[in-house]
Amino acid sequence: MIIKLENVNYIYNPNTPFEKKALDNISFGIEEGDFIGLIGHTGSGKSTLVQHLNGLMKPTSGKVIVDGIDINSSSANLKEIRQKVGLVFQYPEHQLFEETVYKDIAFGPKNLGLGEDEVHIRVKKAMELVELNFDYLKDRSPFELSGGQKRRVAIAGVLAMKPKVLILDEPTAGLDPRGRDEILGRLQTLYQEGITIILVSHSMEDIARLVDRIIVMHRGKMAMEDKTREIFKKAEKLEELGLGTPQITSFMRQYKIKGNQVEDAILTVEEAKDELINYLRRRGNA
């Protein structure tokens, strides 16, 4: 198990009038090769939680264990932990600062003390992973690129550290449809390359399309945890938590309620298309 949380609590401003419990007795595990979706309305504790997963924040009580190391232990090397668990915040392109794409992506590996040859290999591989043309873009200013390209440069900077786990907090926020598709397509490729991914998103469509398992946060607690299809079967529970299901899932549910004998645990438009075609064929043969 690459990450394990045991009874994690976190309190902001303890012992003051502004005290707030942001995480309440959180326990779960993440295996290598997982693709996890983290959902919940604003203020549910998602961002606080993901910052615990690479030691940016430490629990008030409980344990966060990364690759066998308790981040609260005196022997924990937080620099090594942050190499293993890369965190990409919302709007990561705002953190670009170097004069060329190459230098920006190389910044992290250079700080590890790696030689120029290894840095070069890592930068080139990271750019390939996010589908940025190395020869064409390496000497360009990152500030001249499109929004989607800038974000992929920022993600490449994290990938160049060779993390075992990649956490992305709303990676498509603010992007146009083309930029969204670029990022989501790259996430699928990264997962197929063997990187464990945790995706924080408000988009139920993105979550349904990509992840294998979902953790639902509500008021600092884990309200639900299950495989993606099982979570979206529980539409009423999600609605109680101020969330919803993908639009196509809602459509298929309503279509079934109206007397059509279709499978309603549908997550994508492609699945809906296949199910509706099969349903019409069954009706035609009846």
CATH number, domain of 98, equals 3.40.50.300
Q: With 70 as the cut, is the pLDDT of residue 143 above it?
A: yes
Band of pLDDT at residue 46, cut at 50, 70 and 90: very high
**pLDDT tens, residue by residue, 105-119:** 999 999 989 999 999
Query: What is the average per-residue pLDDT within 90-96?
Result: 85
Band of pLDDT at residue 167, cut at 50, 70 and 90: very high
4-8, 39-43, 92-96, range with greatest mean pLDDT: 4-8
| The pLDDT value given to residue 235 | 92
Q: With 90 as the cut, is the pLDDT of residue 283 above it?
A: no
Band of pLDDT at residue 286, cut at 50, 70 and 90: low
Domain assignment of residue 206, yes or no: yes
Domain assignment of residue 277, yes or no: no
Q: What's 90's DSSP letter?
A: S
pTM, two decimals, is: 0.91
Listing DSSP states for 32-81 in one string gives TT-EEEEE--TTSSHHHHHHHTTTSS--SEEEEEETTEETTSTT--HHHH
Q: Strand pairing partners for 205?
A: none
Domain assignment of residue 185, yes or no: yes
- 147 burial (CB, 10 Å; 0-12 / 13-18 / 19+) is middle
For residue 103, the enclosing domain spans 3-245
Give the tokens for residue 97. 């600062």
Question: In the predicted model, what is the mean pLDDT of the chain?
Answer: 93
Band of pLDDT at residue 17, cut at 50, 70 and 90: very high
* Strands 221-227, 213-218: pairing kind: antiparallel
Domain assignment of residue 53, yes or no: yes
Domain assignment of residue 264, yes or no: no
Domain assignment of residue 92, yes or no: yes
Q: How far apart are CA 85 and CA 54, in angstroms?
A: 5
Domain assignment of residue 261, yes or no: no
**pLDDT tens, residue by residue, 169-178:** 999 888 888 8
Number of domains in the chain: 1
Residues 152-172: b if buried by 16+ CB within 10 A, e if exposed: bbbbbbbbbbbbbbbbbbbbb
* Percentage above 90 pLDDT, the chain: 83
Scanning 130-268, the segments in alpha helix (DSSP H) are: 134-137, 147-159, 177-192, 204-210, 228-233, 235-240, 247-257
Residue 177: what are its φ and ψ, rounded to 5°? Answer: -55, -40
Q: Is residue 194 left, alpha or beta, with left meaning phi > 0 and alpha meaning psi from -120 to 50?
A: left
Half-sphere exposure in the Cβ direction for 247 (13 Å, CA): 3
* Percentage above 70 pLDDT, the chain: 100
Q: How far apart are CA 225 and CA 36, in angstroms?
A: 10
Band of pLDDT at residue 281, cut at 50, 70 and 90: very high
Q: With 80 as the cut, is the pLDDT of residue 198 above it?
A: yes
| The pLDDT value given to residue 13 | 94
Band of pLDDT at residue 93, cut at 50, 70 and 90: confident
Cβ–Cβ < 8 Å for 76, 69: yes
**pLDDT tens, residue by residue, 252-271:** 999 999 999 999 889 999 99
Amino acid in position 86? G
**pLDDT tens, residue by residue, 50-86:** 999 999 999 999 999 999 999 999 889 998 999 999 9
Domain assignment of residue 134, yes or no: yes
Cβ–Cβ < 8 Å for 20, 51: no
